[in-house]
Amino acid sequence: MTATVEGPDFIALQVRDVPAAAAFFEERLGLRRAPGGPANAVVFATGPIPFAVREPLPGVDLDGAGQPGLGVALWLRTTDAPALREQLVAAGTEGVTPLQATPFGPSFSFTGPEGYRLTVHGD
């Protein structure tokens, strides 16, 4: 028998300032913290895959990285992409792109905590 991977099971962004990154996701995107979690991270009650912001792992130098997450496409789902986009624009979020039609519904990208580029899609 060969062992296989079922798919992504947990996603975390490594950040320098965990409280500030957690506040961004709570205040601007409406995520809610999951109960418990490790001391060096904030885990959100997202589904089907848990999402977190955490301190960098040993050996990770975020100051030496050009753009965090370069090469990784992180898409977040929402029930109302146009409304969320307007909320982010009104809150002064950097790098919010225009809505565009995709096979996954309307989408847009923006700059999240510490320079991560994130994409939102939904209805």
pTM for this model (two decimals) = 0.89
Please report which confidence band the pLDDT of residue 99 belongs to, taking 50, 70 and 90 as the band edges.
very high
**Bond into 48 cis (ω within 30):** yes
Share of the chain above pLDDT 90, in %: 77
Q: Which residue has the higher pLDDT, 80 or 5?
A: 80
DSSP class of residue 47 equals S
Task: Please report, for residues 5, 12, 48, 50, the alpha-carbon distance to residue 58 in angstroms, rounded to integers and kept in the order given.
Answer: 25, 15, 28, 22
Q: What is the pLDDT of residues 24-72, one digit of tens each?
A: 999 999 999 999 889 999 999 999 999 999 999 898 888 877 788 888 8
